[in-house]
Amino acid sequence: MQYTQHAMALLALFWALQVAGSWVQWTHYRKALRQATARWGDGYLGMGKARSRIGFGVLALLEVDPRLNVRSLQVMTGATVFARFRTMALTQQTTIDQLATRYAAGVDDSRLARAVRQAIQQIEEVRSRQA
């Protein structure tokens, strides 16, 4: 009987930790999204995600201007509470087409590449609806 009570208490503790960790990650996600939308009044914002069966998933937040020049590419990867968006260093002015070429599907198709492609696709869908 006591074993069952301890098991239930541990289960409740792990569930509470999972809920708290998810809440913390969600607040970081909302903060990054709010900052991205507040920075620019024009342009487009795309969000992509790539999940993995083993390992961590990747979220990509892509900001482009109306001429489709990349303003910012932010990536979140890691374990729930410890994951933060980090800005990818773009060495030069990059267009969305150059970014699509850099992260095109290929032999080494990483989670980052899939997330960036999904963000680009989201931006293209929004642009096509506006045209």
d(CA 45, CA 61): 7
Q: Which residues pair with 62 in a beta bridge?
A: 46, 73
CB 62 within 8 A of CB 120: yes
Bridge partners of 77, per DSSP, are 58
Strand 44-50 relative to strand 58-64, pairing = antiparallel
Q: What is the pLDDT along the chain (131 residues), one digit of tens a residue?
A: 788 998 899 999 999 988 888 888 788 888 888 888 888 778 899 999 888 777 788 889 999 998 989 998 998 887 666 677 888 887 578 889 998 888 888 766 788 889 999 999 999 998 888 86
pLDDT for res 3: 84
pLDDT for position 108: 67
Res 80: pLDDT: 60
State the amino acid at position 29 in one-letter form: Y
Sheet holding 85-87, edge to edge: 44-50, 58-64, 70-77, 85-87
Q: Where are the domains of the chain?
A: 2-130
In 3D space, the residue among 53, 104, 59 whose CA is nearest the CA of residue 78 turns out to be: 59
